[in-house]
Amino acid sequence: MKVALIGIGQAGGKITERLARFDAEMGFDAVQGALTINSAEQDLQSIEFADTQLIGADRVNGHGVGGDNELGTEVMQSDIQQVLGALDGRVTSSAEAIFVVAGLGGGTGSGGAPVLVHHLQQVYDVPVYALGVLPGQNEGALYQANAGRSLKTLLREADSTLLIDNDSWHEQGESVEGAFETINEKIAQRVGLLFAAGEAVEGVGESVVDSSEVINTLRSGGVAALGYASAIAADESAENINTVLTVARQALLTGTSLPEASTADSALLVVAGDSERIPRKGVEKSRRWLEDETGSMQVRGGDFPLESDRLGALVLLGGAERSDRIEAFMQRAREANQAQEEAADDPADQLTDDRLENLF
């Protein structure tokens, strides 16, 4: 799947760079162009594998918006023509989709991403998706409130929003900084493999996944989630039937980017590995299991031939917003928003804010 990547804010920029780097190192050629946008000039200076664009210089003088996502919205809106101009030549005719990548807890990403998605929808005729990172439970109230507001708007504007919960893909006992590095690396590898489906593959599988199947799975709109798991493969494909079923189950039940999300409108199973070791029977059994587990009759499945001694399973869920994890997050966001209002000095700022109500 050939994509153009646009990262907004610090987290969005880092993830976009990791994705572009992973794609280049693997030789997939799925990422057709990458641009990172920020209101903090210092955050752009460390970006190497993507082009950069500073916004809001006349408002914040390159120092960022300080977590203020309303200001993040304003600077993106005021500089939107400059941003769209920077995309000329980067969103090429070969791109089959655009992904806007952002951490939803910060100021520039959470405020700017929905604005950019809205304008991209007016300009381009390919799907415009969002890849959003939700703050973990232990991150501050400001991040929770920002993400709640941003998520509601993104779900309305984007063709689909792939969510990564910061509590899902980090290792126990890691420092905060170390956890973010781990999460970004896992996002790059797993989302990068999804992008690469049907692109630069080793060998020929029996039923190779292509970009249209990814797009059709995300056609449900709303929230999307991505799961992944892998295991050592035996040399003979017949010996890997249970291995494929096991990694498919792990990908959905314990390896998803949105823990506890297992009900979906549509799903896609991609089994990656040496084509000689991928058992067709195992793929089909796993696909049928996925139908039962997700409650969806729109479950696609196929191979991603890749030179490896392991077999991996990617599970993409479309229309997965009926999740306890989403409800728990939105409750945190509402409470954080209410606490902010109660702490406001100006009585006028304490008016009820219904932006977080009735999300679905």
| Residue 15 forms part of a structural domain | yes
For residue 271, what are the domain limits?
A: 224-318
| Residue 132 forms part of a structural domain | yes
Mark whether 292 and 184 lie in a shared domain.
no
Mark whether 189 and 147 lie in a shared domain.
yes
Per-residue pLDDT at 260 = 82
| Residue 17 forms part of a structural domain | yes
Mark whether 79 and 165 lie in a shared domain.
yes
Mark whether 192 and 228 lie in a shared domain.
no
Per-residue pLDDT at 346 = 54
Q: Does residue 100 contact residue 118 with C-beta atoms inside 8 Å?
A: no
The pLDDT of residue 354 is above 50: no
| Residue 156 forms part of a structural domain | yes
CATH number of the domain at 24, please.
3.40.50.1440
Per-residue pLDDT at 206 = 58
Mark whether 177 and 242 lie in a shared domain.
no
Mark whether 273 and 124 lie in a shared domain.
no
| Residue 355 forms part of a structural domain | no
**Rounded-to-integer distance, Cα 202 and Cα 235, Å:** 17
Q: Does residue 208 contact residue 198 with C-beta atoms inside 8 Å?
A: yes
Local confidence band at 351 (pLDDT 50, 70, 90 cut-offs): very low
What's the rounded mean pLDDT across residues 179-191?
89
| pLDDT tens column, 232-256 | 999 999 999 999 999 999 999 999 9
Residues of the chain with pLDDT > 90, as a percent, come to: 69
| Residue 332 forms part of a structural domain | no
What is the rounded average pLDDT for all residues in the chain?
88
| Residue 213 forms part of a structural domain | no
Mark whether 80 and 173 lie in a shared domain.
yes
Task: Determine which of 27-31, 48-52, 159-163, 257-261 has the lowest per-residue pLDDT on average.
Answer: 257-261
Query: What is the reported pTM?
Result: 0.90
Q: How many domains does the chain have?
A: 2
Mark whether 140 and 76 lie in a shared domain.
yes
